[in-house]
Structure 1
Amino acid sequence: MILRLFFLFLLVYSLIAQGAEPLIRVGMTEGGHEKEHTQVFDETRDALIKKFGKENVSFDLIHVNQLVSKIFSGEVNFFISTTGLSRRLQADGARDLVTLTSKRFPNPNLSYGSVFLTRKDSRISSIADMQEKVLVGNRPLGFYGYVVPIGEIARHGYKPKDFFSKEIFLDSGSHNVLASLLRGEGDVATVPSCFLEDNYPEDHPFRKDLKPINVLESKPCVRSTPAYPNWAFSSSPGASPEVARDVLKTLLDMPTDSKGYRWSIATNFSGTDQLYKDLKEGMYIILNEWSLKTFFKEYKHWFFSLTVLLICLAGYSALLNYLVRKKTRQLQRSIKHQQVLQKRSRDSEAKFESLQKLGIIGQMSSMIAHELRQPLSTLRLYAQGLQRKLERGEWSIEQSSEVLSKIVTQAERAEQIVQSVRNYAKSKRSEKQEICLTEIVNNALYAFKQSGRFRRNVIVSIAEDIRLFANPMEFELAILNLLRNSADSLASLNHKDPKIELAVRRNGDFAEIEVKDNGVKVSEADLQAAVVPLRSNKENGLGIGLSLVNNIMENHGGSLVLHARKEGGVTAVLSLRILER
């Protein structure tokens, strides 16, 4: 009797408890993408009431933020939501039981996505263009309204957290999101796919004045992202397995309603799971926690690249050290070889300097012999003339004084020649002064006439009186040597009508002294050889004259140019800069 009373008490208590709290407590998020969703949800509630009794079933419309807390607290043991929310809570024990299908989306694995929208007058036309812009959305936990769009941004290689300059969440429905976009409060808006097509005609401002971005599909609705499973009926972590089994059977036994909706089973959530993995949300939120393993997994490509780089650097360093050692040995051998060559070069230079000194001594001797020839000959002639007068008794003080004066002049000239040759041998700069070119030319002509080498008169043309900065003795010597060369050339030819012409003229900033004759024909090679010291085409020549002239002109910063004349003879031109006052 007592045992029967105890069981009766338990039965009454359970009935009281059931009356206090329904067996099936369903929480449902606000919204639904199609107008007909309301009908299928009502039919779902009716089917559960028919199965479990009205007192054992409750349906409540709950904000998504409150719904999550009620799921964890056990206040609801079943919930209807987007598949995204169900998969997000899977790591905490939630389990999607069935997924909605329709005539428009018969495959429960692929139904809705999201669409990016902007104003038609905006220049934004791609995901890249949306960067650093202002986003308007409904709520941050909205799967199709926010999670799917930022997942698409991540799929394009961007970091969603830093992508937009600002994110505005209205939490008042997709209609207000679009209205805010049209008012210019944001640059880009995100709403679930099919929201525009199901709620507004084509001439509505939301469809007429807005344009989609990154369109992947246009039918049956415009979509900017991949498609994900439809809405799901899920169990909470604390739901009874037996009750969940009966609920699942009840929902699957429901017939397709008049609008074509029914509950089915989705078999592929890989897209949704990958989305949360990319965002490190939901069951993948652990990826945000730092560990050596996750750090290596996240940056394994960088680790691999760094390892390869270090190996390459180590190899390069080893190769570089080997090459440095090799090049060092080669350099040491080269230095030793260079030292040997330098010693040989110094020895060769010493021998060359010795030979050069001998050559200079010979050249000096030849130059002295060449240049002293005329004054000494003149001295000899004056002395012989004076001697004959004494022998014939034709002595007079006036004549003797004149002859002796000329002898002194020629002796002084000989001394100047010796000094000039010494300066040439020592490579000393001659003393220069302002000179009158006409005077120098006349002195050279007088000395040339006194030498008796040319019996005719030199044809002289002096355009103007020109002033130069030069050594008068050396410049006179240069002109005299050119006149001598012309005379010697004509003498060797026995010309019937020998001519020597001397012209002085101005050519820009330079004075030119031209000496030409109608002597023998010569080649350009002969002219080039004529300025080489110690080389001469004359029978008794020493090869000094033109070499000395060239040296004098170079020391004065001038030039000597020789030209062979077609009709025979040579034109020699001395050129020197005019003294500017």
Structure 2
Amino acid sequence: MFASSEDKPVVVAINSAVNPLLTKEFVFQTIDTLKKAVSPRPLEVKFLELPQLEQDVKSRKADLFLVTSNFIKKFQTEGAKDLTVAASPFSKDPNRSEASLFIVKADRDDLKKISDLKGARVSAGRPTAFGMYIAGMGEIAREGFNPNTFFSVSRFHGLDRDNIIRDVLNGDSDVGILRICYLEDAINRKILKDSDVKFINLIEDGKHVCKRSTALYPNWTLASMPSLDAGLTSKITVALINQPRTKLGNYWQVGSDFSELDKLQELLKIGTYEKVTKLSIRRFLLDNVHYFFFAFCILGMLLSYSYFLSRAVGKRTRQLKEALLREKFLNQETKTAQERMMALQRAGVVGQVSGLLAHELNQPLGSLNLYARSLIRAADLQKLTNEKLIEVLDEIRKEAVKASEIVQRVRSYAKGEKSERADIFL
């Protein structure tokens, strides 16, 4: 047996961060109204943190969800439809009720305006939190700064908003981003005193009781998914609008102006505009696919040419290196051979000089020997006269001169000097 559609529960997912802007009394009163509106079908209630809630919406596990208006806009392309917007005594207009507040430590005289926060350390809820991050980043973008690079360090604490305040008071962060009315709630709970902090870009225009630093956006919203038929969504909408106000003054009404939220999402390129941007890029790629293919082919050819060119250059470089090494080796071999040849030439010159000296000097030296012996013999025979002595010494002088001339010619020859040929008469 299959269960009928009336037995299938209607699932409502509620963001766990719903308090303190919406009191428990109002939330549980809303749950009772929904139970009556969807009867006889049962109502299943889930309190989820934002990441899990997003997963449930994407996987169609929720039929209704109570979240920030920014969340609804993000999932409009998947069929999310806002039914009612919460109204509170804190704001005169439920379409202008949600915002962020920048807080810094009271003694930070260097921080007075948004531009002073550039490069500062920030504490916030989480990157997807609307009041505790996104609305604040929108105000930074309006000042002309890039919100993605504006802060040097970002610390996220999820739903633990008190840690954002502690970071600022302890000096762990320079600035904190709080959802509107969280400061007043923290003061009531004695987490801090109003004099402990000061506010950046404080806006006071009477449109909201609580302090704020940004533009105002639609309040918490109850939305439906396509899994609910039109009849049931209409019944739910009527029931919520007719729900009595709480003692604090909370009630439901139909939202009529989401223009500020559209401007914010367009400015930050989030939500619907993030998807539109992605689709535009995809369409651009599809429309110009042939150009990209052509460019890819050209790039491939250039890369191939570069590859083969680098290989050819590398091969030629190796060949040149090898040629240089061979040339260096041959130069060394030539130098060694030249040194050996020069040594042999020097040895030959020495031999030639030695032979030339022996041959040329032999005669004058022999003559000197004979003249010396003739003087000794004449002296022994007592026949040595002054005339004879002078005559022999003159001959000795001549032979000595001749030997000197021979030595001089040999030296000139050894040096490679040119010499004139001459006849020598002995």
Pairwise same-fold verdict (TM > 0.5) = yes
Counterpart in the other structure of 1:227:
216
Structure 1 stretch 123-132 or stretch 85-94: which is displaced more? 85-94
Counterpart in the other structure of 1:287:
277
Work out whether 1:261 is the aligned partner of 2:250. Answer: yes
Counterpart in the other structure of 1:248:
237
Q: Distance in 1 between matches of 2:33 and 2:271?
A: 31
Q: 1:49 to 1:129 in 2, by over 3 A?
A: same
Deviations 1:358-377 (A, max 9, x none): xxxxxxxxxxxxxxxxxxxx
Q: 1:144 to 1:294 in 2, by over 3 A?
A: farther
Q: Distance in 2 between matches of 1:161 and 1:35?
A: 28
Work out whether 1:28 is the aligned partner of 2:14. Answer: yes
Shift of residue 227 of structure 1? Answer: 0.9
Amino acid at match of 1:248: T
Amino acid at match of 1:30: S
Work out whether 1:145 is the aligned partner of 2:116. Answer: no
Deviations 1:438-459 (A, max 9, x none): xxxxxxxxxxxxxxxxxxxxxx
Map 1:362-511 onto structure 2 (within 5 A).
none
Work out whether 1:178 is the aligned partner of 2:165. Answer: yes
Unaligned runs of 5+ in 2: 286-426
Give the 3-state SS of the residue equivalent to 1:161 in structure 2: coil
Contact 2:11–2:44 at 8 Å: present in 1 too? Answer: yes
Map 1:294-313 onto structure 2 (within 5 A).
none
Give the 3-state SS of the residue equivalent to 2:66 in structure 1: strand
Q: Distance in 2 between matches of 1:170 and 1:69?
A: 20
Work out whether 1:112 is the aligned partner of 2:102. Answer: no
Q: Distance in 2 between matches of 1:294 and 1:206?
A: 54
Q: Distance in 2 between matches of 1:275 and 1:212?
A: 22
Deviations 1:146-186 (A, max 9, x none): 11000000011111011111211122421111112212111
Counterpart in the other structure of 1:274:
263
Q: Distance in 1 between matches of 2:283 and 2:57?
A: 32
Contact 1:134–1:188 at 8 Å: present in 2 too? Answer: yes
Counterpart in the other structure of 1:70:
56
Shift of residue 194 of structure 1? Answer: 1.2
Work out whether 1:52 is the aligned partner of 2:38. Answer: yes
Work out whether 1:188 is the aligned partner of 2:188. Answer: no
Amino acid at match of 1:63: E
Counterpart in the other structure of 2:149:
162
Give the 3-state SS of the residue equivalent to 1:160 in structure 2: coil
Amino acid at match of 1:287: T
Q: 1:140 to 1:237 in 2, by over 3 A?
A: farther
Counterpart in the other structure of 1:42:
28
**Structure having greater relative contact order (Cα 8 Å, sep ≥ 6):** 2
Counterpart in the other structure of 1:502:
none
Map 1:74-85 onto structure 2 (within 5 A).
74-85=60-71
Q: 1:199 to 1:73 in 2, by over 3 A?
A: same
Give the 3-state SS of the residue equivalent to 1:205 in structure 2: coil
Map 1:354-365 onto structure 2 (within 5 A).
none
Q: Distance in 2 between matches of 1:177 and 1:142?
A: 13
Q: 1:203 to 1:245 in 2, by over 3 A?
A: closer
Shift of residue 124 of structure 1? Answer: 0.8
For the pair shown, which has the larger CA radius of gyration, 1 or 2? 1
Amino acid at match of 1:118: V
Contact 1:280–1:288 at 8 Å: present in 2 too? Answer: no
Contact 1:33–1:194 at 8 Å: present in 2 too? Answer: no
Shift of residue 238 of structure 1? Answer: 3.2
Unaligned runs of 5+ in 1: 1-8, 296-581
Shift of residue 226 of structure 1? Answer: 0.9
Shift of residue 67 of structure 1? Answer: 0.5
Q: Distance in 1 between matches of 2:127 and 2:260?
A: 20
Amino acid at match of 1:163: F
Aligned residues: 281
Percentage of matched positions with identical amino acids: 27
Q: 1:292 to 1:73 in 2, by over 3 A?
A: closer
Shift of residue 102 of structure 1? Answer: 2.0
Contact 1:82–1:232 at 8 Å: present in 2 too? Answer: yes
Contact 2:15–2:53 at 8 Å: present in 1 too? Answer: yes
Q: Distance in 2 between matches of 1:146 and 1:179?
A: 17
Q: 1:27 to 1:216 in 2, by over 3 A?
A: same
CA RMSD of aligned residues (A): 2.5
Q: 1:246 to 1:118 in 2, by over 3 A?
A: same
Q: Distance in 1 between matches of 2:45 and 2:252?
A: 17
Give the 3-state SS of the residue equivalent to 1:276 in structure 2: helix
Q: 1:236 to 1:51 in 2, by over 3 A?
A: closer
Shift of residue 203 of structure 1? Answer: 7.3
Q: Distance in 2 between matches of 1:242 and 1:67?
A: 25
Alignment counterpart, residue 88 of structure 2, candidates 88, 102, 106? 102
Give the 3-state SS of the residue equivalent to 1:48 in structure 2: helix
Q: 1:98 to 1:292 in 2, by over 3 A?
A: closer
Q: Distance in 2 between matches of 1:214 and 1:267?
A: 27
Work out whether 1:215 is the aligned partner of 2:205. Answer: no
Deviations 1:5-51 (A, max 9, x none): xxxx7xxx444x654x40x2100001235365211111111112223
Q: Distance in 2 between matches of 1:241 and 1:55?
A: 16
Amino acid at match of 1:43: Q
Q: Distance in 2 between matches of 1:34 and 1:40?
A: 11
Counterpart in the other structure of 1:136:
123
Shift of residue 138 of structure 1? Answer: 1.1
